[in-house]
Amino acid sequence: MFLLCVSFSSQGQQQPDTGVSLRYCINPEWMPFEAIRNGEHIGISSDYLELLSELSNIQFEFVPTQSWTETLEILQSGACDAIPMIRPSLKKQDFLLYTAPFFESPNVLVSRSDDDVIPGYSAIDDRVLGIEKDKRHVEYIARYYRNIETYYVDSEIQGLTLLSEGKIDVFLASQLSAAMIIKSEKLENLVISGFAEPHDSMAMGISPSANELLPIINEAIAAIPESKTVEVYRRWYQVNSVTHHHSIWLVFTGAIFIFAVLTVIWIKRAQLNVNNELQKRDAELEALQAALVEKNRTVEFLTTHDDLTTLHNRNYMVQKVDEEMSRFRRFQSQVTLLLVGVDNLTRGSQDAVKASSDQILQRLADITLQKIREVDIAARWTNEQILILCPQTSALSAQILAERILTEVELQSLQLFEGVKVSIGGASMQEGDSFVDWFDRAHHAMRNAKRRSTHAYEPAQS
């Protein structure tokens, strides 16, 4: 039984008060999503419950269980009122109501490192695919990929172990849990090879007896800052990688070092100062290696960045746009372009104009980098245009970003942007778009914004 207390505002609308209490239980062995360790609830769902409690004033009371089966049993019996993280399922709709989704969990194909890359279902061919017997992908694969031979297991850890032992060829798993299991079980011969649609949208499951709390929790979910979502994801999914070219460089410099040592020993064998000479050569090689590494970093930066603004350059943006268009066509994930144009840069003498326009573009680039998210990509598209790629972003969210940029430009108008007009056009990618179609709509929207007398944003017409 949960306790619900509400107060009424002067307009008669109900507002949640601190007297709301909701009992919940979890899957005790489902890391990194949730688990019980030393009697405490940990995992992604624990982090989200803290956020939801702060935003809704609901007090969540943990009811420990020994297994997922027990969790479902006590939920149906009324001994607990909610499950904090679950994949919505038709099978459970008779005893669960679902909130709005609040966490996206990609599914992946895991294979052995000695096998070919398997980017998707179509590349599985005659391999045996392992999959949890209760996973919704069982029906999906049976419907759309009937030629794939499947092997059903009880859990992801069982399936990944069988894959590591060579008893199956590929395994379908959640990206987050697969990464954690591979690391914790030391299954070093396994790699994430490709994505496996459909991906999972996680929601909270609530008993029908607590349905009064559903709109309150949905309101709290909608209010979760994007930065908090990114923070939770980073906390529970960390991957360390070593690039191949770096390994080759270590081998190369190591070979040079060995050759130098052998040469010095051969030449200076009879001399008493051989140790000092070796130390000198060692120091020289280390200095050379450090210098070459630094030069490689500089070259890599220059090949992908604009030297005036330090934004990415056009070539880099074209590559990233192509990747996002492929992701849109495959997963239907929203993506939006913002095209930023600057007018009235050419004022005064030629030398003064160049200095002034460079300063304005540099400052506009600084403002852009300050306002965009880490996942966004900004590039200098032409001399007077900046293009911003916003992955997994709706037209409305992109408009908010554009308005943040324009607000900062307006605040600095008297200092640097006096007489300069900044116009932004935005366009979300649509089904069937080529890049030219998509960019043209953003460009047309930017031209419409330029018709206004002040800094302005204009969305593309659908």
Q: What is the pLDDT of residues 4-33, one digit of tens each?
A: 433 323 333 344 444 688 999 999 988 888
Residue 368 has pLDDT above 50, yes or no: yes
CB 59 within 8 A of CB 53: yes
Find the mean pLDDT for residues 446-454: 91
Find the mean pLDDT for residues 189-197: 87
Query: CA–CA separation, 329 vs 432, rounded Å?
Result: 9
Predicted pLDDT of residue 225: 87
Over the range 290-323, which residues count as b (16 or more CB within 10 Å of their CB) and which as e? eeeeeeeeeeeeeeebbeebebbbeebbeeebee
Residue 370 has pLDDT above 70, yes or no: yes
CA 251, 257, 260, 266 torsion-angle sign: negative
Query: CA–CA separation, 87 vs 134, rounded Å?
Result: 11
181: tokens are: 């299991």
Closest residue by Cα to residue 398 from 332, 459, 326, 329: 459
Q: Which residue has the higher pLDDT, 459 or 119?
A: 459
Predicted pLDDT of residue 170: 96
The DSSP secondary-structure symbol of 382 reads: E
The DSSP result for 155-202, as a single string, is -HHHHHHHHHTTSSSEEEEEHHHHHHHHHHTT-TTEEEEEE-SSPEEE
Q: How confident is residue 265, by pLDDT bands cut at 50, 70 and 90?
A: very low
Query: CA–CA separation, 119 vs 438, rounded Å?
Result: 27
Residue 62 has pLDDT above 50, yes or no: yes
Q: 96 CB contacts (<8 Å, ≥6 apart)?
A: 75, 83, 86, 205, 206, 207, 208
Share of the chain above pLDDT 70, in %: 82
pLDDT tens across 162-185, in order? 999 999 999 999 888 888 888 889
Predicted pLDDT of residue 267: 55
**Predicted model pTM:** 0.46
Predicted pLDDT of residue 19: 63
Predicted pLDDT of residue 436: 92
Mean pLDDT of the chain: 82
Predicted pLDDT of residue 276: 64
Q: What angle do CA 91, 93, 94 make, to 5 degrees?
A: 100
200: tokens are: 């999972």
Query: CA–CA separation, 200 vs 208, rounded Å?
Result: 23
Q: Which residue has the higher pLDDT, 246 or 277?
A: 277
Find the mean pLDDT for residues 246-256: 37
Residue count (the chain): 462
Q: How confident is residue 77, by pLDDT bands cut at 50, 70 and 90?
A: very high
Q: How confident is residue 301, by pLDDT bands cut at 50, 70 and 90?
A: low
Query: CA–CA separation, 48 vs 85, rounded Å?
Result: 9
Question: Where on the phi/psi map is residue 101: left (φ > 0), alpha (ψ -120 to 50), or beta?
Answer: beta
Find the mean pLDDT for residues 56-76: 92
- Helix (H) / strand (E) element for 252: namely helix 244-268
Mapping DSSP to helix (H, G, I), strand (E, B) and coil, where does residue 25 land? coil
414: tokens are: 């008297």
Mapping DSSP to helix (H, G, I), strand (E, B) and coil, where does residue 47 land? helix
Cis-peptide into 119, omega within 30 deg: no
pLDDT tens across 314-344, in order? 989 999 999 999 999 998 889 999 999 998 7
**Position 343, amino acid:** D
Predicted pLDDT of residue 453: 84
Residue 390 has pLDDT above 90, yes or no: yes
Residue 355 has pLDDT above 50, yes or no: no
Q: How confident is residue 298, by pLDDT bands cut at 50, 70 and 90?
A: low
Closest residue by Cα to residue 433 from 292, 309, 332: 332
Q: 197 CB contacts (<8 Å, ≥6 apart)?
A: 107, 330, 331
Q: Which residue has the higher pLDDT, 248 or 136?
A: 136
Q: 204 CB contacts (<8 Å, ≥6 apart)?
A: 52, 82, 83, 84, 85, 86, 98, 99, 102, 217, 221
- Helix (H) / strand (E) element for 335: namely strand 335-343
Query: CA–CA separation, 286 vs 397, rounded Å?
Result: 49
Predicted pLDDT of residue 420: 85
Q: How confident is residue 428, by pLDDT bands cut at 50, 70 and 90?
A: very high
